[in-house]
Chain A
Amino acid sequence: MTVATITRQDVVNFLYTEAKLLDEWKLTEWAALFTEDASYTIPPIGDPDANPKDSLFFVHDTRARLQERAERLLKKEAHVEYPHSTTLRNYHNIMVGDLDSPVIRVECNFTTHRTKREVLDTFIGRHIYEIVQMNNGLAIKSKKVILHLDSLRPQGKISLIL
């Protein structure tokens, strides 16, 4: 069996698909993009390389916990997101690393808008992905969200998946 050659466009399309799934609240489908050993993390603001042992992250999810996160948000009792907020995610300045490497590093800027009860909040920052090729296409091995904010004011919370 030959492994298909991946192009930059494949990777970009994959990221746009991820963003679209999140905007459409297809969260179990989003979780399915991740590998069995995947992680999803949001380190403290201003300290992207912090050690999760010494520093308080916002999110430090294993694969199991990101599944729980996705499923929780689909429940009516996840009050903060019920009714669901309206969101719009833009990914820009996408930089794709070595396509021949078994783990492809991809970085991009993101702008995520969330509106609920007529209040619009915006999250900005940088995503760092490790992407691998699986039999059925691409998969995310890790996603790290580096917030480029001073604080979570006025956003107040990260109830969304960023």
Chain B
Amino acid sequence: MKELIRDNTEKCEFLVHRSVFTDREILARERAEIFNKCWLFIGHESEIPEKGDYKRKKVGGRNLLLVHSHDGEMRALYNTCPHRGALVCRENSGNSRVFRCFYHAWSFTNDGQLAGMPGKDGFPDDFNCDGTKNMTEVNRLESYRGFMFVNFDDHANSLDEYLGNAKEYIDLVADQSEAGMEALGGVQEYSVRANWKLLAENSVDLYHGMPTHKTYFDIKQGQDPDLKKVKLEGKGVDLGNGHAVMEYVAPWGRPIAQWTPIWNEDLKKDMEKIKARLVERFGEERADRIANYNRNIVIFPNLVINDIMAITARTFYPTSPGYIEVSGYAFAPKGEDEEHRMARNDNFLEFLGPGGFATPDDNEALELCQEAYNNNQEVQWNDISKGMVRGEDNTLATDEIQMRSFWRQYKTRIEQSLNKEVAQT
């Protein structure tokens, strides 16, 4: 069996074989063992608040329709016509009681049930009595604190069990608002010419912060000369099941309740009030953690929730070993005061997203890795050992425990597949 991950605790060395970033055969196995079996983020409940609301979503390579049906249920329907296959819903989002396939005009209520078709007399009376002509629904759709996930494996453990220790960190994000969090409009759909696992790594990698994002920190320094007083410091934690987090302090302002001098006095008072309310709700220690600590969470395999200078979530899927489609979300407390929200969004755009001062440099780093994997034949291993010398329970946020947690889970799942001759579900 080919060795893909070398995890040598004694030597404090952790290696990843670079073929995992370029090999098509491995991607096929990832689809079978990971994307067809793990819980995958589909969206946030706030995206479809009203009955009839729907949004098209690409998840795990499928074309899905996330819909708030009229019976009150949220459903993920496979967006394909049970007749001869056409994409049923072509709008990206909207509100509708029925979906009509334009090809032969079969129509479906928004819970997926076949409602009618032209030329009914050509079909038997009991046509669809077994429901096989309804739009097919993803059997497993579960949510945690508003974050919705699907699983294409009907026998998978519950989402709750799957998230496990990661729930504590999702709570620290969701608890920031008593009214609940909402996804902003304008989910950013972009791409990176790199392997999907490079983005998972990068999103929980504090080690690259200073060298890759120096221009961002220069700009922050220009805005606030006292900035250097806060360093990037904290801890990295393995959350099990391939999930991991880094929790740390950072010099930027946090729009929940860590004020910075770039913001005005009104905002300072507003944030003091929010902080006081957090203390009331959760006590001093947890309130401080929510307000002043940053957390980058990776939920295996392809969801990242970053609660940093703003809150973003990104999910990504490989269409080939060297190309991913990314969806980037912004989250904020529902009903947030206008000025506060604008400060939050400005903070977001300064660093994050395809037009930010940082994310494009990440994108470039990943693409340069991918390009240089052309040398894989002769140069075979990535090193992900940083912090192992400290012991895995004492690692810093700037160590690489987050990535090792991801890779250890990856190893477990892929090695099962490597025992099979071909990728199979």
Contacts and interface: CB of A to CB of B under 8 A. Distances in A.
Interface of A: 42-47, 50, 52-60, 65, 68-69, 72, 75, 77-80, 117, 119, 150-159
Contacts of B277: none
B355 interface: yes
B186 A57 contact: yes
Given A152-B354, A159-B360, A56 B186 contact: yes
Nearest to B366: A156
A52 B357 CA distance: 18
A53 B330 CA distance: 11
Given A53-B338, A156-B354, A72 B190 contact: no
A44 B349 CA distance: 12
Interface stretch (B211-219, B268-276, B297-305, B416-424): B211-219
B186 A50 contact: yes
Interface stretch (B59-67, B149-157, B340-348): B340-348
B31 to A, nearest CB: 20
Contacts of B38: none
B349 A53 contact: no
20 contacts: A45-B186, A45-B189, A52-B342, A53-B342, A55-B184, A56-B185, A56-B187, A56-B330, A57-B355, A58-B188, A60-B349, A65-B346, A69-B357, A72-B357, A77-B218, A79-B365, A80-B361, A151-B191, A154-B191, A157-B363
Contacts of A69: 357
A43 B349 CA distance: 12
A56 B355 contact: no
The 7 closest A-B pairs by CB, nearest first: A44-B186, A151-B189, A58-B355, A55-B185, A152-B190, A153-B191, A80-B364
A79 B187 CA distance: 25
Given A52-B345, A56-B348, A119-B193, A158 B184 contact: no
Nearest to B182: A54
Contacts of A47: 185-186
Interface in B194-230: 212, 214-215, 218-219, 222
B325 interface: yes
B129 to A, nearest CB: 40
Contacts of B359: 157
Contacts of A158: 354-355, 360
A40 to B, nearest CB: 10
B137 interface: no
A65 B191 CA distance: 25
Given A53-B338, A59-B349, A68-B219, A79 B189 contact: no
B371 interface: yes
Given A152-B190, A153-B191, A156-B190, 16 more contacts: A43-B186, A46-B92, A53-B345, A55-B184, A56-B329, A56-B353, A59-B355, A60-B346, A77-B214, A77-B215, A152-B188, A152-B189, A154-B193, A155-B191, A156-B192, A157-B355
Most chain-A Cβ atoms within 10 A of its Cβ — which of B184, B192, B328? B184
Contacts of B341: 53
B175 interface: no
Contacts of A43: 186
Interface in B96-145: none
Given A56-B188, A58-B355, A117-B371, A79 B349 contact: no
Contacts of B218: 72, 75, 77
Contacts of A59: 349, 355
Nearest to A51: B185
Nearest to A46: B92
Given A50-B186, A153-B325, A156-B192, A68 B345 contact: no
B357 A68 contact: yes
A58 B184 contact: no
Contacts of B185: 44, 47, 50, 54-56
Contacts of A53: 338, 341-342, 345
Most chain-A Cβ atoms within 10 A of its Cβ — which of B192, B349, B353, B359? B349
A93 B355 CA distance: 26
Nearest to B329: A56
Contacts of B338: 53
Contacts of A65: 346, 350
A58 B219 contact: no
A153 B192 CA distance: 8
Given A151-B190, A152-B189, A42 B355 contact: yes
A159 B367 CA distance: 14
A157 B193 CA distance: 11
Contacts of B215: 72, 75, 77-78
